[in-house]
Copies of this chain bind each other. A is one copy, B any other.
Amino acid sequence: MRIAPSSEDFLSDFQTMSTFGATGNGGVDRQAASPADAEQRNWFRSLLESHGLKVKYDQIGNEWGLLESIPGAPFVVVGSHMDSQPTAGKYDGAFGVLAAAHAAFRLQTDWENDVRPTPKYNIAVVNWFNEEGSRFKPSMMGSSVYTAKLPLEDALDVTDSRGITVRAALDEHGFRSGWEGPKAASCAEIHVEQGRTMERDGVSIGLVHSNWAANKYEFVVHGEQAHAGSAIIQDRRDALLGASMLVVAAREIANAFPGVVHTSVGQLDVYPNSPVVVPSRVSLLLDLRSADESALRDADAMLHQRVADIEIEANIKVERRTSHAWPVTPYQPEGVELSAKIAADLGLSHQPVMTLAGHDSTNMKDLVKTVMLFVPSVEGVSHNEAEYTRDEDLVAGVDMLTEVVSRLANGELDD
């Protein structure tokens, strides 16, 4: 008789998992298809196979562990991502992938031991490729291709800063095939919150009902090269000055909508970036996010007014090269409702939450009914080596996810 892995087994596996790309400060650095990411993927493959799951890579390098109890039936897709930002926390994504695997291991045992009724659907544990987007843009690449939001060839042609394509990076490790992935019946993902609301309210399980709206811009500021010492100040067309004014303006806009609008510039590149040259070109990625679409529209209008002002003040031109926007979109309310019932049954405190960050489930919810769960994160620290979630919360999350996947596998969200 098969024995399901325990919570202690989960924590032990999670500890092993956190050694891949460990930074020495409690964090990890596992950018997509890097040596650390590859090493971890191979370890995860062994883990899945040791529990009898069949491991396959699809056309964009998503790593799948298939538990096919009902031959030919569609799959409940459950997972997250194991790639990370540089110098990131160890929970972000990785927790969700391992939780998915352990949920599958437990259900498999229960099904084999007739503890639970035979399900309607199979389970596909997934480790989505390149969710973070730090090495290859855009983020959520694996789930975007799987859900046909991003053409496969476009994704494979993307290059990193050294000119290496996604295609070459995946092929280097044998992480790519011609397969499109399994047919999904529904989806579940669990993740750390990356915010403070659950910690503040003292709840164990967050039931994600929708995501914040976002407007994302790539601005290119065009100035003119000049000698950084000798050029007369009023003659200068300093692209870095213009870009810096944009960064400051972004924060001022957030301050104008306290708690309602979040803004950020995470990436900024200067050309020619030489100590004695006034920069001629600066590109930067600027995001506005809000749960309130009307506030987002107002913030966006402020931004565009500031861009026009800065063009005059700094004597530069701002090009809006690409932009990407999404509205507030709901996860299926019946999934939130089902999860609330399950959490109550398990005796776990819970509340509805929104997600500010994007997740692979954000893509999946447009394809199939999708349940997104959060566990709390201490002080909301995220994309930082100090990210921390208590073991008891991780364990509660695995229990919760197991039950959700069980109910999805029973077809409880079917129309």
| Shortest Cβ gap from A243 to chain B (Å) | 7
Q: Which residues of B contact A394 (CB under 8 A)?
A: none
| Cβ-defined partner of A275 (8 Å) among B139, B238, B275, B279 | B139
B384:A139 contact, CB within 8 angstroms: no
Residue of B nearest to A382 (CB): B227
Give the residues from 263 to 299 in chain A that come closer than 8 angstroms, CB to CB, to chain B. Answer: 263-270, 272-280, 285, 287, 289
Instruction: Give the copy number.
Output: 2
CA distance A5 to B240 in the complex (A): 45
B382:A230 contact, CB within 8 angstroms: yes
| Shortest Cβ gap from A362 to chain B (Å) | 12
A266:B262 contact, CB within 8 angstroms: no
CA distance A232 to B203 in the complex (A): 19
Residue of B nearest to A251 (CB): B241
B235:A276 contact, CB within 8 angstroms: no
| Shortest Cβ gap from A217 to chain B (Å) | 11
| Shortest Cβ gap from A280 to chain B (Å) | 8
| Cβ-defined partner of A289 (8 Å) among B193, B229, B279 | B229
Residue of B nearest to A214 (CB): B229
Q: Which residues of B contact A381 (CB under 8 A)?
A: 226
CA distance A255 to B134 in the complex (A): 38
B248:A229 contact, CB within 8 angstroms: no
Residue A247 interfacial (CB < 8 Å) = yes
A251:B266 contact, CB within 8 angstroms: no
Q: Which residues of B contact A227 (CB under 8 A)?
A: 194, 356-357, 382-383
CA distance A318 to B356 in the complex (A): 30
Q: Mark A224-265, 1 if CB is under 8 A from B, else 0.
A: 111111111101001011011111100100110011001111
| Cβ-defined partner of A229 (8 Å) among B269, B272, B274, B357 | B357
Residue A196 interfacial (CB < 8 Å) = yes
A277:B85 contact, CB within 8 angstroms: yes
A270:B268 contact, CB within 8 angstroms: yes
Q: Which residues of B contact A266 (CB under 8 A)?
A: 228, 240, 273-279
Assess A87 versus B383: contact at CB under 8 Å? Given A229-B357, A241-B247, A266-B277.
Answer: no
B273:A270 contact, CB within 8 angstroms: no
| Shortest Cβ gap from A26 to chain B (Å) | 13
CA distance A356 to B308 in the complex (A): 32
| Shortest Cβ gap from A182 to chain B (Å) | 28
Residue A120 interfacial (CB < 8 Å) = no
| Shortest Cβ gap from A27 to chain B (Å) | 9
Residue A327 interfacial (CB < 8 Å) = no
CA distance A226 to B195 in the complex (A): 10
| Shortest Cβ gap from A97 to chain B (Å) | 18
Most chain-B CB neighbours within 10 Å: which of A229, A231, A263? A229
| Shortest Cβ gap from A197 to chain B (Å) | 10
| Cβ-defined partner of A383 (8 Å) among B86, B193, B225, B289 | B225
CA distance A275 to B268 in the complex (A): 9
CA distance A247 to B248 in the complex (A): 10
Assess A233 versus B212: contact at CB under 8 Å? Given A85-B272, A227-B194, A228-B383.
Answer: no
CA distance A273 to B248 in the complex (A): 17
| Shortest Cβ gap from A88 to chain B (Å) | 8
CA distance A167 to B278 in the complex (A): 29
Residue A132 interfacial (CB < 8 Å) = yes
CA distance A245 to B265 in the complex (A): 13
> Which residues of A are at the interface with B, using a C-beta cutoff of 8 A?
85-88, 132-134, 137, 139, 193-196, 212, 214, 216, 224-233, 235, 238, 240-241, 243-248, 251, 254-255, 258-259, 262-270, 272-280, 285, 287, 289, 355-358, 380-385
Given contacts A85-B272, A244-B248, A280-B384, 7 further A-B contacts (CB under 8 A): A87-B280, A139-B275, A227-B383, A233-B262, A245-B248, A248-B248, A275-B287
A-B contact pairs, 7 of them (CB 8 A): A85-B277, A195-B232, A227-B383, A228-B266, A230-B262, A230-B382, A232-B262
